[in-house]
Structure 1
Amino acid sequence: MRAVLADYPQVRALKEGSVFDFVEVNPVHKAFAAMVRDQAYDVCEMAIVTYLQARAEGKPLLLLPVVLRSRFQHDHIVCRADDPLDVHDLAGKRVGVRTYAQTTGVWLRGILGDEYGVPLDEVRWVSIEDGHLAEYVDPPRVERAPAGSKLVEMLHAGDLDAVIMGNDLPDDPRLRPLIPDAKAAARAWYDRTRAVPINHMVVIRAELAGQREDLTQLFVEAKEPAEGIDMTPIGLEANRPALELITRYAHEQGLVPTRLSVDDLFSPRGAGS
């Protein structure tokens, strides 16, 4: 089986075995478009929102209940350190994000709306890239920055008031998290929701549905026991709190036309061709 998975601790044992023919794609998100558009691999890491959009479009893909990457998102929306901007005052402000469909952005917009009462439809969202799905079109409220724009440069220039960042969150003393006490806020949010904010899970081509339990078990056997909060949970029930939230957020934010059922995400029915 041709597989694209980044080099995580729980994947290294699989890369030493002979089950998969690994294809190296760096950064791994560059594999997502090929997987949703052409089913280029048998097994592939994928951003959960990309999978939700693919599922809504009937792509022949199936989710495994295996988290490869997650993180608490509260400190991933930043503004200039010298700007007195308050998280409650985002209405009318310009907030940049790599692509409106980026999973980190979906999580943060949901958190801003749920936890801080931000009217998301009144924020001016600015993106710099397309989503992974060819069929996806940004909602009308999303503005595309000029080609070649860089979010942090736009923020420092005053063209944006805040920016949502993913793995490229800069270590820059000129920036600060927009959400006060972001790490403590994230822990309090987890204590209330019991949800680990999923970034990437594992998907397979739908025709491999009969092998999903065996494939899931491979990840179970390769994973080391978690200490503290398990940030890479495996299993439907372990992931249900997060999936209930992200399916709601994706629908509310206009990324999928209807809210998807968590249980249906794992059903071969609806994974069309």
Structure 2
Amino acid sequence: MSAALHVAIGRTPRTAALFADPTGFALAEMPNITRAFAPMVREGRYEVSELAIATFLMAKAAGAHIVLLPAILSARHPEASLLARRGGPVRNPEDLRGRRVGVRAYSQTTALWLRGILAERHGLPADALRWVTFEDAHVAGYQDPPWCERASASADMTAMLLAGELDAAIFGSEGAGTPDVLPVIADHEAAAAQFIATHGFMPINHVLVARADVAAARPDALSALLARLRAGGIEVHRRAALSAPLAAAARLCQAQGLTERALTLHEIWAGTPDRFR
């Protein structure tokens, strides 16, 4: 009998059935799935793991022995995540030029997509802003680009924003936890609709990856996992359906200094078993 596949994946409504009946899988329990990302790309701690798309592309470019599986675990519009304090100097994206913008880590995927939107729609490339970071990237050895600075170890991003030490900040789905902030992109719903109309996809946040040795040795187990996830409502695609968002994310990684060059789709899918086409 084959050993259970060791999987780190977030508990969500769409993965609830897998957690309720994990037969065949050893599921890593953790309150925040992002805590699995660094151990996965640095040491291959899990056989399969949820992973942020920016982290995957950076790790793949750095030679990590991981392969992409064609499942989208989360995707969302990032436009409402860029916040500024009420009454502050930032009232629209154009006001951000030269300003200090906080973000948990420069490599955060929400920030990746938002910086792309700022560059494309508002003429603000990544180096037009001063990025203040609070954590390292998940990928070992990555150094933030010169247009970043690190906040002090005890700093709190929300407190810095409210005190005027930051002009704006990017928050995840949890938000800032205060009513004293407003979205910098005021009509963020219209902006999200425009992104879809222009690009034809919703920005991908988290994907599913496997260690390369596991992908080579246990493709049947991976197929079984994807089938269980699909049954729960996770989007499992043919590779061609993911070409546009993957290529866009790869280009943004290169443009923003996360990778030295944009990975090709061939490189992105390198090592993924042929059955997952």
Normalised TM-score (structure 2): 0.89
Deviation at 1:19, TM superposition (A): 2.0
Letter in 1 for 2:83: V
Deviation at 1:143, TM superposition (A): 0.3
Label 1:205 to 1:173 Cα distance change in 2 as closer, same or farther (>3 A).
Answer: same
| Residue 238 (structure 1) aligned to one of 227, 241, 244 | 241
Query: Separation in 2 of the partners of 1:234 and 1:96?
Result: 34
Answering whether residue 36 of structure 2 is matched by residue 31 of structure 1, we say yes
Query: Separation in 2 of the partners of 1:212 and 1:105?
Result: 33
Of 214-223 and 161-170, deviating more is 214-223
| Residue 134 (structure 1) aligned to one of 134, 140, 146 | 140
Answering whether residue 112 of structure 2 is matched by residue 109 of structure 1, we say no
Deviation at 1:117, TM superposition (A): 1.2
Report if aligned partners of 1:233, 1:239 keep a CA contact under 8 Å in 2.
no
- Percent of aligned pairs sharing the same letter: 37
Report if aligned partners of 2:17, 2:232 keep a CA contact under 8 Å in 1.
no
Answering whether residue 196 of structure 2 is matched by residue 165 of structure 1, we say no
2:38 aligns to what SS in structure 1?
A: helix
- Superposed CA deviations along residues 2-26 of structure 1, whole A, max 9, x for unmatched, are 1110112332233313121111122
Query: Separation in 1 of the partners of 2:236 and 2:248?
Result: 16
Query: Separation in 2 of the partners of 1:151 and 1:169?
Result: 11
Report if aligned partners of 1:60, 1:206 keep a CA contact under 8 Å in 2.
yes
- Superposed CA deviations along residues 169-196 of structure 1, whole A, max 9, x for unmatched, are 1353211100120012101211221122
Normalised TM-score (structure 1): 0.91
2:15 aligns to what SS in structure 1?
A: helix
Report if aligned partners of 1:80, 1:175 keep a CA contact under 8 Å in 2.
yes
Which consecutive aligned stretches of 4+ in structure 1 deviate over 6 angstroms post-superposition? none
- Superposed CA deviations along residues 184-210 of structure 1, whole A, max 9, x for unmatched, are 210121122112211111110101223
| Residue 9 (structure 1) aligned to one of 13, 23, 26 | 13
Deviation at 1:262, TM superposition (A): 2.2
- Superposed CA deviations along residues 65-91 of structure 1, whole A, max 9, x for unmatched, are 111111100000000122252211211
- Correspondences of 1:206-225 after superposition (within 5 Å): 206-210=212-216, 211-212=218-219, 215-216=222-223, 218-223=225-230
Of 67-76 and 117-126, deviating more is 117-126
- Superposed CA deviations along residues 40-83 of structure 1, whole A, max 9, x for unmatched, are 01011111111111101111111111111111000000001222
Of 214-223 and 22-31, deviating more is 214-223
- Superposed CA deviations along residues 199-258 of structure 1, whole A, max 9, x for unmatched, are 1111101012234476256324533597xxxx9453322222211211110010010111
Query: Separation in 2 of the partners of 1:10 and 1:47?
Result: 17
| Alignment gaps of 5+ in structure 2 | 273-277
Answering whether residue 86 of structure 2 is matched by residue 81 of structure 1, we say yes
Q: How many residues align?
A: 265
